[in-house]
Amino acid sequence: MEALMSSRPGYGSVSAVVLDALRGIVGESGVLTGDSMQDYARDEAPNAAAFMPGVVVKPGDASQVSRVLRLANESKIPVTPRGAGTGLSGAAVPILGGIVLSMERMNRILEVDENNFTATVEPGVILRDLCQAVESKGLYYPVYPGEMTATLGGNVATNAGGMRAVKYGVTRNFVLGLEAALPSGEIIETGGQYIKCSSAYDLTQLITGSEGTLAVVTRIVLRLMPPPGQRSVVLAPFDSLEKAIDAVPHILRQRVLPMGIEFLERDGVHVTEEFVGKETPIHQYEASLMIIIEAENEGEATRICSDVGELCLERGAIDVFVANGERAAELLAFREKVWPAIAQGGRADMADVVVPRKHIAEFVRKARQASRDVGVGVFLLGHAGDGNVHISPILPDVPDGAARMADFFHRVYELGISMGGAVSGEHGIGYLKKPYLESVLAPAKLDLMKRIKLAFDPNNIMNPGKIFDI
């Protein structure tokens, strides 16, 4: 655990007076100190150090958030908003100490409006709870980042993506409006319960994806959709990853856009089978595509699956398996377990570079080559349909293992950027990917972003040290 410093250069400390004031705002039970803060010192980023907060504060409503921020701003204390801490880039970790503002008590689903196709939620609502609530009313929230225990506030702040992005897009495509507390304590509302807006700068979209560096999201209006009739999965094994990925553009050109196209390699399949204690039909194959289809009814699903299956066979698939209903759900659950399975040994790390879809095969090939050149074992998996490749190198058990990992990451980010991609497709920058972002952003763009940050947050108290340094 990193040493706790109650005060950093330029920042105020969480003094006894501040603690009293915080208790006055959120109540005794809403303030944690000492060892009870351990769980707030890290997120799910692998191999990252833990940083103890000065204090954990759990507001119950927007006005309490506003008062905490005003106090922090006056005393120049860093504030790190936190959802469920499932992030993979260290974004919710208080690297400069100060206040961790945990949104866990703000977990009410305020409204599911069946006539307006919207849900209005507090930021601490867990994604799984939202999905259940909207489904019970015959509606659908299609964004599906793999971790259902994440909060909607965290999803908004990281612009979470996931497996359904090919068809539906990512979180920002479903955020219609926000309420947010600024570091000054002012509360603003952006957007609303409408789906079109052409009225000045779009602050909803600016705050979405800002990783808690601009404001604290205190309410979210989300767009909903009618649910699909049927979901099916086409599993297509190939004898090489290259062949599998080369098939993707052909699938995307079909008349029906799949909800997602995931790719898996044999090694990743094997560790996951061991992890879940169950074998899959793709056990023995080098690489496989998992193509997720949504259709109005069984007949349509059968037709689409058969078209997609035939196309895969034409592009070199060795076989094709189609799963519906429970079986399809099991396969999707299996896919979600791939990262936890890879990560379980504690030596895996992950980059989630995104590249233009036309370059995905070349990117995967070159990333694999880089892993050989550097001498680092790697798992490759991810969202083949949207160009977002999850690259998981395993820390080699050799004296220069850490240096090899750093070299590999450097090469992979450079490669992705050289192909017109971006550092992160869905997990965000946090503090762990900050050096890579800073090395690839054009100076004018970085400078503009810093000026935007300071317009919101002149004292740089909001999640300082994340995305870029001021």
Ligand X SMILES: Cc1cc2nc3c(=O)[nH]c(=O)nc-3n(C[C@H](O)[C@H](O)[C@H](O)COP(=O)(O)OP(=O)(O)OC[C@H]3O[C@@H](n4cnc5c(N)ncnc54)[C@H](O)[C@@H]3O)c2cc1C
Site for ligand X in 411-430 (CB under 6 A): 426-427
CB 381 to ligand X: min, Å: 11
Decide if 150 contacts 126 (C-beta within 8 A): yes
Which tokens is 427 given? Answer: 């997990």
Candidates 43, 265, 294, 457; binder of ligand X (CB under 6 A) is 43
Does 154 contact ligand X by CB under 6 A? yes
Which positions ≥6 away from 446 have C-beta within 8 Å? Answer: 438, 468
What is d(CA 338, CA 282) in angstroms, rounded to the nearest whole number?
14
Segment near ligand X (CB under 6 A); pick from 84-92, 191-199, 255-263, 293-301: 84-92
Closer of 129 and 211 to ligand X (Cβ)? 211
Decide if 331 contacts 319 (C-beta within 8 A): no
What is d(CA 364, CA 416) in angstroms, rounded to the nearest whole number?
10
327 three-class SS: helix
Q: Compute the residue count for the chain.
A: 470
Candidates 22, 52, 216, 389; binder of ligand X (CB under 6 A) is 216
Site for ligand X in 225-284 (CB under 6 A): none
Binding marks (x or -) toward ligand X, 375..414, rule CB under 6 A?
----------------------------------------
Segment near ligand X (CB under 6 A); pick from 21-29, 78-86, 303-311, 449-457: 78-86
CA distances from 150 to 2, 82, 98, 210, 218 (A): 25, 10, 23, 17, 16
Candidates 150, 289, 301, 389; binder of ligand X (CB under 6 A) is 150
* Burial label, 125 (beta-carbon count in 10 A; 0-12, 13-18, 19+): buried
CB 56 to ligand X: min, Å: 12
Does 44 contact ligand X by CB under 6 A? yes
388 three-class SS: strand
Segment near ligand X (CB under 6 A); pick from 23-31, 146-154, 357-365, 371-379: 146-154
What is d(CA 37, CA 278) in angstroms, rounded to the nearest whole number?
37
Residue located via tokens 């340094």: 469
Does 62 contact ligand X by CB under 6 A? no
Closer of 309 and 465 to ligand X (Cβ)? 465
Segment near ligand X (CB under 6 A); pick from 75-83, 363-371, 395-403, 407-415: 75-83
Closer of 92 and 293 to ligand X (Cβ)? 92
Candidates 41, 69, 71, 84; binder of ligand X (CB under 6 A) is 84
Does 332 contact ligand X by CB under 6 A? no
What is d(CA 33, CA 54) in angstroms, rounded to the nearest whole number?
7
Closer of 2 and 310 to ligand X (Cβ)? 2
Segment near ligand X (CB under 6 A); pick from 81-89, 251-259, 286-294, 370-378: 81-89
Residue type, 387: G
CB 162 to ligand X: min, Å: 4
462 three-class SS: strand
Calculate the dihedral angle through the C-alpha atoms of 144, 150, 156, 159, rounding to the nearest 10 degrees: -50
Does 155 contact ligand X by CB under 6 A? yes
Residue 453: CB atoms within 10 A of its CB come to 20
Binding site for ligand X (CB under 6 A): 43-44, 80-88, 91-92, 103, 123, 145-147, 150-151, 153-155, 157-158, 160-162, 211-212, 216-217, 339-340, 426-427, 463
